Amino acid sequence: MSFYRLIIPLFALIFFQSNFFFAKADECKNFYDAVLKKDNIVFPEIKRKDLAIFFDYQWNKENSKVSIKRDKNNYPVVRVSLFEDKLLPGTIIKSIDGIDLSTTKDDDIINTITKSESSVIEYFAENEINKIAITSNKYNYIDFNLTSFYLNSINEIDTKEGFFSIDYAAHFRQKRNDLSEEGKFLTDTMCENYEKLAAKLFLPNKDVYLHSFEKDEDKTDSEEWFLSNKDGTYLDTSFYGLAKIRSKFNLKDYPFDTQNLKITWDNMHYTSTNLEAVVKPQVALINPKIGAFINLDDYKSNNFLKEWTVKDVKFISEFVKQKELSHENILINEQTDQLTIQITIQRNYNYYIYKVVIPVLLILIIAWSVLWIPPKQIESRLTTSIVSLLALIAYNFVFQDDIPKLNTLTSLDQYVLLSYFFCAIPIFMTIFLSRFVATNQKRAYFFNRKMRLWGGLIYILFTLKIFFS
């Protein structure tokens, strides 16, 4: 009896799973067939008619969500304005139709922008408040939603070669109005994209990309899945793997330096109103969703960087003018929308204190100890000084390969050169005082005492200036 109690539920489970599997396969097949039958694939833009003002965003760490970026007085910051050139990226808007935006919620600001037929906008320009009137117009809107970004690890930070490598995963979601009817075949099913379908459709991975100079195909990959809900048809795209990213490191304060690691996602669509003569005005934006960066808050305190400490994480959105292109004898400005994740790291300098600064200081102390040897013992003084200088030169080879060959001096370079100079001073002092040993010992001892007193003090002051200026 117990056998039947066991076997019957097992068969029932297999039966339902089989039906689910085949139902899913049928849904995907029907969806694929419907898409492939389409004669023309419409570009998946959203047709809108509003003021076309988009605001910059910031990550609110307190409630872990994306919100409109505001200045110190809580006024919103413009990201891009499609129809009004005076509202440049970074412009601060004071009010819309007399409504003070410093006390207005994000959702209310967005509703005002999207529902107004025309508005009078007050904005700050050169410490003045200017007014402009904007009328809503039709345009195409392309929205790349970054639903999440996971930074699994920063594997390597190479300041000498100028790059860092990351293990990451990024997930984008785009609403597909061009596939709204075909998406009705999908209920609770997610269907993976495949080669034949990809050849016919516009896909985000052809237009949104991570700035990296080395991409190992064996270590990176992407996936695309179609899904549908009551709001419409969507395409989820996932990018993941290992990537090396070029970085411009500022090593002036090395080894007490702070660096900014920038992970930049770029959107290659035209975003210029100069295209109006050719096509409809359009704007394409990369927009992070509410909880897109929750993982980065955890990474700040749970990372495996030994040489560095993560100090801060912030997000930067900007439009970058790339170049002028020609389209049917019409000059157009290509601008790209960029989302940059900036991770600020600080070098753990204790290693350099223990392994470089203190040993160099000890060598210098030995070199200066000859000033306590009587000036008449010239041979002993010279031997000790020269050996100390040679030891300092040899020790320099221990750490000189940690950074690239720069045109400027780092803080550590300045400290080592200063130590070279002060290590050589006792040698010159011994040679200088040798002329007074036989004729005027009192004068020789006088100069020797003055150098013992002021030399060390001057060295300490210069060292403090190098490291703490």
What pLDDT digit, counting tens, does each position of 387-415 carry? 888 888 887 776 666 666 778 888 888 99
Tokens of 344: 């600020």
Q: How confident is the model at residue 8 (pLDDT cuts 50, 70, 90)?
A: very low
Average pLDDT over residues 414-433: 87
Q: What is the pLDDT of residues 289-317, one digit of tens each?
A: 878 888 887 888 788 888 899 998 888 88
The letter for the amino acid at 234 is Y
Whole-number Å distance between alpha carbons of 81 and 96: 14
CATH tag, 350-468: 1.20.58.390
The model's pLDDT over 103-161, given as tens digits with 9 standing for 90+, comes to 999 999 999 999 989 999 999 988 889 999 999 998 888 888 899 999 999 988 998 88
Q: Cα torsion at 439, 445, 448, 453 (round to 10°)?
A: -160
pLDDT value for 1: 47
Please give the Cα distance from 331 to 320 (Å, whole number): 17
Kind of pairing between the strands at 163-175 and 232-246: antiparallel
75: three-class secondary structure by DSSP: coil
- Cβ atoms of residues 177 and 246 within 8 Å: no
Q: What is the identity of the amino acid at 289?
A: K
Contact 285, 267 (CB under 8 A): yes
Q: Residue 214: is its pLDDT beyond 70? A: no
pLDDT of 100: 94
Sheet holding 128-135, edge to edge: 99-100, 92-96, 118-125, 128-135
Q: What is the reported pLDDT for 92?
A: 94
**What average pLDDT does range 458-464 have in this prediction?**
90
Q: Distance (Å, rounded) from C-alpha 35 to C-alpha 29?
A: 10
Report whether 249 contacts 329 (CB < 8 A): no
> What CATH architecture is 160-347?
Distorted Sandwich (2.70)
Alpha-carbon span 112 to 211, nearest angstrom: 35
- Looking at the chain, the whole-number percentage of residues with pLDDT higher than 70 is 84
CATH topology assigned to domain 48-138: Pdz3 Domain (2.30.42)
Specify whether the CB–CB gap between 236 and 229 falls below 8 A. Answer: no
pTM: 0.80
